[in-house]
Amino acid sequence: MGILSWIILGLIAGVLAKWIMPGPDPGGWIVTIVIGIVGAFIGGWLGSLVGIGGPVTHFSLGSIITATIGAIVLLFIYRMLKRRHH
């Protein structure tokens, strides 16, 4: 996938993850894109572990779902760490 595809995938996945899990997360378009891109890697890694997928290598509905699940996991971890520091 090209850089533009990763940015678009990251934006879609990040927006979906923030929509599914609303809350006081870091904001802005760039942070949302980064959450989605990192989510794609996390989702691909988790999918490989459980045997229902693998790394996100192309732009498809499956890759959007994988990236969104990974972004949700990332937001969950962020919120858990944030709670521990307060």
**Residue carrying the six token digits 């870091």:** 26
Question: Residue 69 in 3-state DSSP?
Answer: helix
Q: pLDDT digit string (tens) for 11-41?
A: 888 889 889 988 877 677 788 888 888 888 8
What pLDDT score was predicted for residue 1? 66
What pLDDT score was predicted for residue 47? 78
CA distance 71 to 41: 9
Would residue 21 be called left, alpha or beta, if left means φ above 0 and alpha means ψ between -120 and 50 degrees? beta
Question: Which pLDDT band, with edges at 50, 70 and 90, does 53 fall under?
Answer: low
What does the pLDDT average to over 42-66? 76
Greater model confidence, 53 or 69 = 69
Look over the chain and give the mean of its residue pLDDT values, rounded to a whole number: 81
